[in-house]
């Protein structure tokens, strides 16, 4: 979202009907001045995003990379990511400068956006070429996992006697692992950004494994998937990334209540038991592993942006066609 120059105004506009297209998301990596991520986000939220949401963009969120239990944090700058949704690549192109004035006019909201972009630039050291993504936001509705109608009794050495789940008696894979849960533990929300190199052409199978097999179980144990997407490669100057002949790239984001929550989901059976939903999750995980060549994860903290309603009053002006 680069700074724009306003043509000689005023430039009121009207709009055509909504144009269809295949949704494209843009994930942009940023280098920011140290400890300025919060300020960068606030300027974006209050000055930049209302304009871009008006012209059809939907902001997903802004986050800073964090390094729990690690000494990898860079010196001299912070790193962040911003994720935004567009109706199509054509829509993204139309929002680039200076064309986007034709989408929303040059009212006070446009001027505030320009001022915010300039102010935000004071905190921005640099930005990599973006990832362009196509795929799916995670379904966000309710889900129904019926209980298995079984009866159990406690055994000596279980978590209730020993104090923690990690001290539970060891069971064979075939043994039942029902669970009860404690009250929700507060924490600072964490978002994982996971990257895969996968077998060429397998995105649909990979996504279905996530949606139908993995995500229902992870929703049950408190995680909230954001979405999963395949990297696409528009031509320059939009994108300088090159498509690889022997693999595709996939990105996925999931929200956790805290880093401790993410760590606990590495032992998912202790949170959600090993019923048929767990078996299906494990099978889906194995399918994803069979399609993967490489994977890595980054941890992010910041803000989801739920596109709140915005009131942009009309200026009450009158115009005629020329």
Q: Tell me the C-alpha to C-alpha distance, in Å, between residue 84 and each of 13, 47, 53, 184.
A: 24, 16, 10, 30
273-293 pLDDT per residue, tens: 999 999 999 999 999 999 999
Q: What pLDDT is stored for residue 289 in this prediction?
A: 98
* Dist CA 240 CA 244 (whole Å): 13
Q: Which of 26-35, 64-73, 117-126 has the lowest mean pLDDT?
A: 64-73
DSSP summary character for residue 38: H
With bands split at pLDDT 50, 70 and 90, how would you rate the model's confidence at 195? Answer: very high
The neighbour count for residue 275, using CB atoms within 10 Å, is: 21
Q: What pTM value is reported for the model? A: 0.90
Mean pLDDT in the chain? Answer: 91
Q: Which CATH architecture has domain 187-302?
A: 2-Layer Sandwich (3.30)
Q: What pLDDT is stored for residue 36 in this prediction?
A: 96
104-115 pLDDT per residue, tens: 999 999 999 999
Q: Which residues contact 51 (CB under 8 A, 6 or more apart)?
A: 104, 109, 110, 112, 113
Whether 144 has a pLDDT exceeding 70, the answer reads yes
With H, G, I as helix, E, B as strand and everything else as coil, classify residue 129.
coil
Over residues 244-267, the mean pLDDT reads 97
8-29 pLDDT per residue, tens: 668 999 999 999 999 999 999 9
Residues of the chain with CATH 3.30.70.100: 24-128, 187-302
Q: Tell me the C-alpha to C-alpha distance, in Å, between residue 29 and each of 84, 119, 121.
A: 12, 18, 14
* Dist CA 89 CA 81 (whole Å): 20
* Dist CA 204 CA 210 (whole Å): 10
Please, are residues 252 and 202 in contact by the beta-carbon 8 Å criterion? no
With H, G, I as helix, E, B as strand and everything else as coil, classify residue 297.
strand
Q: What pLDDT is stored for residue 166 in this prediction?
A: 39
- Per the DSSP assignment, residues forming a β-bridge with 81 are 29, 63
* Dist CA 232 CA 223 (whole Å): 27
- Token reading at 205: 């199978």
151-173 pLDDT per residue, tens: 888 887 655 444 443 334 445 56
Q: What pLDDT is stored for residue 162 in this prediction?
A: 41
Class of domain 24-128: alpha beta
């Amino acid at each position: 979202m680069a700074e724009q120059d306003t043509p000689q105004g005023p430039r009121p506009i009207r709009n055509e009907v909504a144009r269809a297209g295949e949704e494209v998301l843009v994930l942009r990596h940023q280098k920011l001045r140290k400890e300025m991520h919060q300020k960068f986000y606030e300027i974006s939220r209050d000055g930049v995003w209302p304009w871009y949401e008006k012209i059809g963009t939907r902001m997903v969120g802004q986050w800073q990379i964090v390094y729990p239990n690690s000494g990898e944090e860079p010196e001299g700058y912070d790193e962040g990511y911003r994720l935004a949704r567009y109706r199509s690549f054509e829509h993204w192109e139309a929002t680039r400068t200076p064309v986007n004035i034709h989408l929303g006019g040059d009212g006070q909201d446009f001027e505030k956006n320009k001022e915010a972009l300039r102010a935000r630039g004071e905190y921005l050291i640099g930005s990599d070429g973006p990832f362009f993504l196509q795929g799916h936001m995670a379904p966000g509705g309710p889900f129904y996992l019926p209980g298995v109608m079984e009866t159990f009794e406690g055994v000596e050495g279980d978590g209730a006697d020993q104090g923690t789940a990690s001290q539970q008696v060891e069971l064979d894979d075939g043994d039942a692992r029902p669970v009860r849960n404690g009250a929700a533990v507060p924490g600072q929300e964490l978002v994982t950004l996971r990257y895969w190199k996968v077998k060429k052409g397998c995105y649909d199978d990979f996504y279905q494994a996530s949606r139908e097999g993995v995500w229902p179980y992870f929703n049950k144990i408190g995680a909230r998937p954001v979405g999963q997407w395949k990297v696409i490669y528009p031509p320059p100057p939009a994108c300088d990334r090159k498509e690889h002949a022997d693999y595709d790239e996939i990105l996925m984001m999931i929200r956790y209540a805290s880093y401790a929550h993410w760590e606990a989901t590495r032992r998912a059976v202790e949170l959600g038991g090993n019923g048929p939903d767990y078996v299906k999750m494990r099978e889906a995980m194995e399918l994803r592993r069979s399609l993967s060549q490489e994977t890595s994860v980054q941890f992010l903290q910041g803000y989801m942006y739920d596109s709140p309603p915005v009131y942009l009053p009309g200026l009450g002006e009158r115009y005629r066609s020329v």
